[in-house]
Amino acid sequence: MKTSARLFAGTMLAGAVAAFPTVAFAQDSDPESESGASEPGNAIVVTGSRIQRTELTATSPVSSFDEEQIELDRAVTIEDISARIPQFAGGVNATQTGSDGRGAQTLDLRNLGQNRTLVLLNGTRMVPFSFRNAVDVNSIPAPLLKQVDVLTGGAAAVYGADAVAGVVNFIVDTAFEGVRVGGSWEGADDLQTYNTNLTLGASLGDRGGIVFYADYTDRGELLVGDRDFLADNTTSTLAGAGGNFTDVASGNFFAFDESGTLRTTRQTSDFSDLYPAVQPLERINVSTFFDYEIAPFAEIYGRAMYTKVDTVGAGRAGNNPVTVNETVFIDETNPFLTDDIRSRLTFVNGQAEVAVERTLGELGILTAATERTTTQYQIGLRGPLADWLRYDAYVQHGRVEEETVTSGDALRVDGSGNSRFAAIVNSVDIFGPGADLAGFGSNFVQEIRDRKQTVAAFSISGDSSPLFSLPAGPIRFAVGYEYRDESLETGDEAALVNGLTYRGSTGGVIVGGFDANEIYAEVLVPVLADKPFFQELTLEGAIRFSDFSNADVGNTDKLGFSWQVDDNIRFRGTRQTVVRAPNIGEFAAPVFSIPFSLLRTVPRLQPRYLGDPCVIGTGDQAQCDRFGAPPQGSYDSLDPANLTGQYFFGGNPDIGPENGTTYTLGAIITPQFARGLEIIVDYYDIRITDAVGQIQPVDALQSCYVDNPVADNPICQAISRDPTTGFIDDAFVNDRNLGVIEQSGVDIDVNHSIDLSSTGFVTGLRLGYQGTIVTDYTIQRNPVLDPVDCKGTFGFACSSDAVSLVQPDYRHRVAATFDADMGMLQFVWRRIGEVENASDRTEKIGAVDYFDINAQFDTGIYDMKINVGVRNLFDKEPPQPASPGAFGTYPGTYDIVGRTFGASASITF
């Protein structure tokens, strides 16, 4: 590492003199609700800071989702939790189609992208599963969670790169003792989910403990055809499954419909009812957490986690079945020729030349079955060096091994390069549906991934009490070093790499990796205490020096304050610099390509291309003529058959890091005249520069032919035209540091507890409101393009990562919980605000409201709890805008399952 000693000295110096710090707020109650886990000596680790402290202190804005709520919601997967927190966007989830996520669940804070959200488990990094550095949070055992902390506003100086939008810290209960057996069921029409889990915990004398957890989850499959509102708005118009035939010599045309009846008009088929709207999931989780004091100054701790997930979804090319479109020779002796067929064919030397366009529905839709295994091991040592000084050192290694096998595809050619379909046309009845294609289709290994992450870290935290104390108390500090090594290897089967199959998109090998050495320091300075208007004033600062092998990553820092005026109000604020280093896919991936036509046949990809402006009539005519575009209305630019080029994408070895600055300013109000009332308001402002992005065809065509129709517009080079026809040909969308993303808004948390014990039945009422309001959100994808106002919008134009496609400017969750001796009853109202089409402001999706009911019963027998509830109580259907994403709606944001009943139970011995 570059001059490590000098960096370390500089870090220590910066930490000692920092005047302003980041300050994270933990809910003002008791240590059990704190945003962290307790340590020996009653120290508390707060999400958003490495400084351990013995009292609850406010730092960066943190929202928490506690164990009680996780139980009430009967959470089985993290998706069950993230869908209920207003700051989260859709991310990759069970409804994704044609995504390389393949059944994974990723997290996206504030619509800023899954690659800008850092995921931690008990304060340390989880291993990513993909080239994006995104974590499949299905590997986290939701029933074992004690708390989920969501820190929004950036935390790079504390946790390192990737914490641009914020941090999600999953806190697991590592102090459980006893035996707990649990299970749950969630049921909606045509979709069932089951979970069983076992937790064993034991103390190891008075020196530590061990917790073992295992669970099994089985989630069924929901098909498009299982929901009328999905089926009515999802189509895949393919060549008829009975075949369309043209005799080349005479031009005679005939076709067969899906019942096998001969027709004289072109036939089409729609297989979309068979597409998975919710992917099935089978998951096994086994985890162990332990800690043991081997000496008064040394406690060994660690974890071992294993998760195996099996899902079946869409391949990279979507679910559409194989379609052939080629000319073959039909023998006059073909046994499947009827008189009607024979009369339409022209035989020369015993053969007729016939153009065949036919969907091979007999092979089934294209599906991708993925097996993903995630393991992570951690071993650490921590303890006191003195009453005022502690250390913590750990090493962890994680690995995600993944294999995806596609079915429903077939080789186009044999070993000699001859058409395999042409070879069977005289031995298989291809005239009409139901052809015997046994042996024609094949399964292919679409991708094998091997993702590894190793982290080694050492930190020291303490205070200045042995040397000096300020009038308000000693200075607290934390310094540390972290090493991280990441690698990825991927590969496809040779037939896919070489483009020899019908539907498997071309792929290739990614081999890449990087390592990082980082030194950081934090300091917490108590300035005033127990003074008029200054019950407590603390300043906090942090700095991190980073050395990445794959990019020149700059240093990051944070400054902040926490000012407790009195028992009624506290103010807090932070200013932080953030950074995201290029992920492996961005700097190491070669250039891949898929057929351009997939941008019309795969629903997830459709927003990336909306037609040729010159043909639609929206383009500047002089610019259209300059680039040789065909006349207006001359061809259907949305017909996949007319899109014969390639869509090229991939990495860029010269790509650099993203940089940004975030600000937060907040107040925590706990009025003493209204006991039980807590109001938390935080303003945030995030600006990301050098944002990695691509110039998608829809943006390139808009810029080149509509917004800036000049000859030297460089964006025009992102799209080429066929030199003969002028049709849209190839697209080039490699990663580049192109954009600027800015977002600001307000988060509001209001909680009020009311004592109703005098009623004799209900002991209390808890009212909670959690909302987020986006006040400004713009994306400028390229300096040539104008910033797009993305506040309260939907559509691809305002997606920061092409995954989360809805950006509401208002979301909330309101809950009313009645407590009683026998349990509790909760009513929940979730609202997603109105949004408008980012590309056509006249199209709107109205606000959508969901209502849930949850109840918990405490039987009093062996701490047995029973939870029941109804999600989406009024069976609200998702909106179906004119410009939808997948399935005629936006399933990453809106509920496509419908009313869901659930029950869970656990018993502790």
Please give the pLDDT value at position 271. Answer: 94
Position 117 in a domain? yes
Question: What domain range includes position 385?
Answer: 4-226+278-316+368-410+442-590+653-694+733-908
Q: Give 491's pLDDT tier (boundaries 50, 70, 90).
A: confident
Position 255 in a domain? no
Q: Does the pLDDT of residue 100 top 90, yes or no?
A: no
Q: Does 783 share its domain with 884? A: yes
Q: Region 327-332: what's the mean pLDDT?
A: 97
Q: Give 45's pLDDT tier (boundaries 50, 70, 90).
A: low
d(CA 862, CA 637): 67
Q: Give 605's pLDDT tier (boundaries 50, 70, 90).
A: confident
Q: Does 520 share its domain with 557? A: yes
**Residues 420, 410: contact at Cβ < 8 Å?**
yes
Is 550 strand, coil or helix? Answer: coil
- Cβ partners under 8 Å of residue 239, min gap 6: 267, 268, 269, 323, 325, 357, 358, 359
Q: Region 252-270: what's the mean pLDDT?
A: 96
Please give the pLDDT value at position 447. Answer: 82
Alpha-carbon torsion, ordered 151, 154, 157, 163, to 10 deg: 90
Please give the pLDDT value at position 654. Answer: 85
Q: Give 331's pLDDT tier (boundaries 50, 70, 90).
A: very high
- Two tokens, residue 205: 């004398």
Helices (runs of H) and strands (runs of E) counted in the chain: 13, 48
Q: What is the pLDDT of residues 837-887, one digit of tens each?
A: 998 899 999 999 999 999 999 988 888 999 999 999 999 999 999 988 888
Q: What is the pLDDT of residues 154-173, one digit of tens each?
A: 788 888 888 888 899 999 88
Q: Does the pLDDT of residue 235 top 80, yes or no?
A: yes
d(CA 653, CA 664): 34
pTM of the model: 0.85
Q: Does 707 share its domain with 780? A: no
Backbone angles phi, psi at 40, to 5 degrees: -55, 145
Position 435 in a domain? no
Please give the pLDDT value at position 75. Answer: 85
Final residue of a structural domain among 732, 761, 792: 732
Burial readout 208-225 (b: 16 or more C-beta within 10 A, e: otherwise)? bbbbbbbbebebbbbbbb
- Cβ partners under 8 Å of residue 619, min gap 6: 612, 613, 629, 701, 705, 706, 709
Share of residues in the chain with pLDDT > 90 (%): 64
Q: How many domains are there within the chain?
A: 2
Relative to beta strand 166-172, strand 117-121 is parallel
d(CA 434, CA 441): 14
Q: How many CA atoms lie within 13 A of 468 on its CB side?
A: 5
Please give the pLDDT value at position 14. Answer: 35
Q: What is the 3-state secondary structure (H, E, C) of 174-210?
A: CCCCEEEEEEEEEEECCEEEEEEEEEEEEECCCCEEE
Please give the pLDDT value at position 753. Answer: 95
Q: Does 725 share its domain with 758? A: no
Q: Give 142's pLDDT tier (boundaries 50, 70, 90).
A: confident
Q: How many CA atoms lie within 13 A of 118 on its CB side?
A: 29
Q: Does 31 share its domain with 157? A: yes
Sheet holding 844-845, edge to edge: 806-807, 793-794, 835-837, 844-845
Q: Does the pLDDT of residue 784 top 80, yes or no?
A: no
Q: What is the 3-state secondary structure (H, E, C) of 663-680?
A: EEEEEEECCCCCCCEEEE
d(CA 365, CA 223): 12
Please give the pLDDT value at position 592. Answer: 78
SS3 content of the chain, % helix, strand, coil (to 5): 15, 45, 40
Q: What is the pLDDT of residues 439-453, one digit of tens each?
A: 999 999 988 899 999
Q: Give 504's pLDDT tier (boundaries 50, 70, 90).
A: low
Position 657 in a domain? yes
Q: Does 195 share its domain with 94? A: yes
Position 290 in a domain? yes
434-441 long-range Cβ contacts below 8 angstroms, 24+ apart = 434/260, 434/362, 435/360, 435/362, 436/362, 437/360, 437/362, 437/363, 440/360, 440/363, 440/410, 441/322, 441/360, 441/363, 441/364, 441/407, 441/408, 441/409, 441/410
Q: Does 875 share its domain with 847? A: yes
Q: Does the pLDDT of residue 208 top 60, yes or no?
A: yes
Lowest mean pLDDT among 17-21, 527-531, 711-715, 760-764: 17-21
Please give the pLDDT value at position 134. Answer: 87
Q: Does 218 share its domain with 291? A: yes
Q: Give 315's pLDDT tier (boundaries 50, 70, 90).
A: confident
Q: Give 5's pLDDT tier (boundaries 50, 70, 90).
A: very low
Q: Does 716 share its domain with 831? A: no
Please give the pLDDT value at position 58. Answer: 55
Q: Does 727 share its domain with 789? A: no
- Cβ partners under 8 Å of residue 494, min gap 6: 500
Q: Does 189 share its domain with 80? A: yes
- Two tokens, residue 547: 């050395």
Q: Region 271-290: what's the mean pLDDT?
A: 94
Q: Give 535's pLDDT tier (boundaries 50, 70, 90).
A: very high
Q: Give 17's pLDDT tier (boundaries 50, 70, 90).
A: very low
Average pLDDT of the chain is 88
Q: What is the pLDDT of residues 675-705, one digit of tens each?
A: 899 999 999 999 999 988 778 898 899 889 9
Q: Region 272-289: what's the mean pLDDT?
A: 93
**CATH number, position 513:** 2.40.170.20
Q: Does the pLDDT of residue 12 top 70, yes or no?
A: no
Please give the pLDDT value at position 754. Answer: 94
Q: Does the pLDDT of residue 659 top 80, yes or no?
A: yes
Position 186 in a domain? yes
Q: Does 700 share its domain with 673? A: no
Q: Does the pLDDT of residue 107 top 80, yes or no?
A: yes
